[in-house]
Amino acid sequence: MTGGYALLVADLIGVAVFAASGASAAVAKRLDLFGVAFVGFAAALGGGILRDVVIGAVPPLAFADWRYAVTAVVASVAVFWLHPALHRVRRTVLVLDAAGLGLFTVTGTLKALEAGVPAVGACLVGMLTAIGGGLTRDLLTGEIPAVLQREIYAVVALGGAVLVTVLYRLDQAHLLPLAAAATLITGLRIVALYRRWSAPVAVP
Amino acid sequence: MTGGYALLVADLIGVAVFAASGASAAVAKRLDLFGVAFVGFAAALGGGILRDVVIGAVPPLAFADWRYAVTAVVASVAVFWLHPALHRVRRTVLVLDAAGLGLFTVTGTLKALEAGVPAVGACLVGMLTAIGGGLTRDLLTGEIPAVLQREIYAVVALGGAVLVTVLYRLDQAHLLPLAAAATLITGLRIVALYRRWSAPVAVP
Amino acid sequence: MTGGYALLVADLIGVAVFAASGASAAVAKRLDLFGVAFVGFAAALGGGILRDVVIGAVPPLAFADWRYAVTAVVASVAVFWLHPALHRVRRTVLVLDAAGLGLFTVTGTLKALEAGVPAVGACLVGMLTAIGGGLTRDLLTGEIPAVLQREIYAVVALGGAVLVTVLYRLDQAHLLPLAAAATLITGLRIVALYRRWSAPVAVP
């Protein structure tokens, strides 16, 4: 019970953080208030909607539980009004984004496994849950998705999804090991950021 | 029975109008005949396909009832051949587009509610049904979606979706009140166009 | 049994070829190794995921059978390392791409028909299965989809889907006629390439 509540709170924090990242991108493109809220919503909930559609959990949580949509829209509107102040907390936002990545990877992979998706597919669904929102954000604002171009981001999510799948198969998918996995993903992402790790690009 | 038939006719008019808007955008981008038909199809039926996938009504109506696809393709091909004449009827097209917005909002919200989606989610699904086609059209033709950038469009749809949800909860989702709601959405959209209402953009 | 195995092998060849086309486009856009693998995956499996979501076959085969994802990723990574050599085999790649088009049209249409989608819808789903991956590839790399702009590509798929539907209705959807249909689609696509057939563009 308390575990479920902790998970919901953590999930909503992830939604708020990803919504803020989407809203920031939309403000930079000079979209109007509705556009900012919409891109924020898509960045926060696009990955989860894709996950739920693919595992057959319809209607997706983003539409079935009003707290998700409201959290995304409130965070987006806050960014719309407060965005000049965001530059000063950019470091905080990146850390929170890493936290969102860890969390969405864990919950996405777990939900896919519980819906009966086999291991390889569940890892892919978990990764897509974590990166799907950022992909949607970039497509809506006319950019080639950043996750495909720079830095170690999706690979950390994929590694985390594999870890969650192993835990699940070992029957260890309890609150504590899962929280440790999310923390590990978040930590790796932060290290990748600070060390400027990046994936190789093909020789021309 | 007559109500269902009226709804189908109105729905197909919405499909034809949105197909024409998609086909016009595709002609402007110098796409070939197939591209014009495809973008017209996507603009007319993309919102409905998204709606049906999200509420679990598969296969979506766009694939389950041939009249939808045929209407979209015929309208698109007509635009392909007649597009120079379209400039002269641009005002008519904008009014018809507003009618499509009203109609798709009402049917989208209603279908979501009847599929058991809770109120907030149903409003979002209704709005997405109405704006999804235009979003797809813009993504396919390489534009940042217009609905995110200018004018009051999606907000009118969202307001209409809230109205439909209230009617549904009050057990008043009959033909007449719903037709009034669609008319109200259409009217508001036309007023927004003529008055050049637009949503605020963030201060740089 | 042998037929099912032949179909699987052929399906995986289609996956590998489409993955290679996606990976090539991603290398050209200077995406990193992950980006190349992701676009390859999306090009190979995007059409099939769309098909399975739309006909209600969740989780989609791309997530339910690990051989699909592994084939797509291995082919993409191979292109990442070998891409300079690809120029020399460009003709081979185009022929294989035509083979993939033929195959995905046949399997996509058939799966839709077997899932109970009516004829017109099944033809559209079959065509979308065949062209959906290329569409996704182009959207992810910031291009207006090539299939909407040039050459006879989707139209060949649509014609093939109609043929498969006729065979199915005549109760002739056996291995041999279907293989003949796939071969015909592939052949037509190759002829269209060599003859530079293209669809008309609207008069300005």
* C9-29 residue pLDDT tens: 878 888 998 998 888 888 888
* C173-197 residue pLDDT tens: 888 899 899 999 999 988 988 887 7
CB–CB contact C34 A124 (8 Å): no
pLDDT score of B8 = 80
3-state secondary structure of B32: strand
Taking residues C35-45, report their average pLDDT.
Answer: 91
3-state secondary structure of C88: helix
- pLDDT tops 70 at residue B31: yes
CA atoms within 13 A on the CB side of B115: 25
Crossing angle for the helix pair A33-55 and A2-28, nearest 10 degrees? 130
* C127-159 residue pLDDT tens: 999 998 888 888 888 888 877 876 688 889 999
CB–CB contact C64 A118 (8 Å): yes
Could you tell me the residue range of the domain that residue B11 belongs to? 2-195
Residue B130 within a domain: yes
Residue C200 within a domain: no
Nearest chain C residue to A202 by CA: give it.
C80
Alpha-carbon span B23 to B44, nearest angstrom: 10
Alpha-carbon span C116 to C93, nearest angstrom: 34
> Within an 8 Å CB–CB cutoff, is residue B60 touching chain C?
yes
Residues in CB range of A193: below 8 A, 6 or more apart: A94, A98, A151
Nearest chain A residue to C82 by CA: give it.
A202
Evaluate the CA torsion angle C25, C31, C34, C35 in order and state its sign: negative
pLDDT score of A165 = 96
Residue B29 within a domain: yes
Which of B50, B136, B148 is most worth mutating to test chain A (most A CB atoms within 10 A of its CB)? B148
Alpha-carbon span C82 to C64, nearest angstrom: 29
For all residues of chain B together, what is the average pLDDT?
Answer: 86
Which of A136, A148, A149, A151 is most worth mutating to test chain C (most C CB atoms within 10 A of its CB)? A148
CB C88: neighbour CB atoms within 10 A? 8
CA angle B71, B75, B80 (to 5 degrees): 150
Confidence of residue A148 (pLDDT cuts 50, 70, 90): confident
* Domain total of chain B: 1
CA distance B198 to chain C (A): 28
Which of A23-27, A78-82, B11-15, B151-155 shows the lowest per-residue confidence on average (mean pLDDT)? B151-155
- Tokens 């020789």 sit on residue: A203
> Within an 8 Å CB–CB cutoff, is residue C124 touching chain B?
yes
CA distance C58 to chain B (A): 11
Residue A152 within a domain: yes
Nearest chain B residue to A77 by CA: give it.
B202
CB–CB contact C36 A115 (8 Å): no
Nearest chain B residue to C128 by CA: give it.
B38
CB–CB contact C149 B32 (8 Å): yes
CB–CB contact C148 B32 (8 Å): yes
Residues in CB range of C76: below 8 A, 6 or more apart: C19, C20, C22, C23, C26, C36, C37, C39, C40, C41, C44
Residue C70 within a domain: yes
Nearest chain C residue to A148 by CA: give it.
C35
pLDDT score of C128 = 93
pTM: predicted TM-score of the whole model, two decimal places = 0.87
CA distance C71 to chain A (A): 12
Residue A124 within a domain: yes
C201: which chain B residues are within 8 Å (Cβ-Cβ)? 30-33
Alpha-carbon span A5 to C124, nearest angstrom: 44
* C78-127 residue pLDDT tens: 988 887 766 666 677 677 778 889 989 998 999 999 999 999 999 999 99
Residues in CB range of A37: below 8 A, 6 or more apart: A23, A73, A76, A77, A80
Residue B200 within a domain: no
Residues B168, B171, B173, B174: what is their CA dihedral angle, to the nearest 10 degrees?
180
- Tokens 């719309």 sit on residue: A80
Q: How far is CA C154 from CA B3, B26, C196, in A?
A: 38, 16, 14
CB C28: neighbour CB atoms within 10 A? 12
Residue B204 within a domain: no
Looking at the partner chain, which of B121, B148, B202 has a beta carbon nearest the beta carbon of A80?
Answer: B202
> Within an 8 Å CB–CB cutoff, is residue C146 touching chain B?
no
pLDDT score of C117 = 94
Q: How far is CA B195 from CA B46, B100, B150, B152, B159, in A?
A: 29, 20, 13, 10, 18
* B81-138 residue pLDDT tens: 887 766 666 677 677 778 889 989 998 999 999 999 999 999 999 999 999 888 888 8
CB–CB contact C62 A155 (8 Å): no
3-state secondary structure of C147: helix
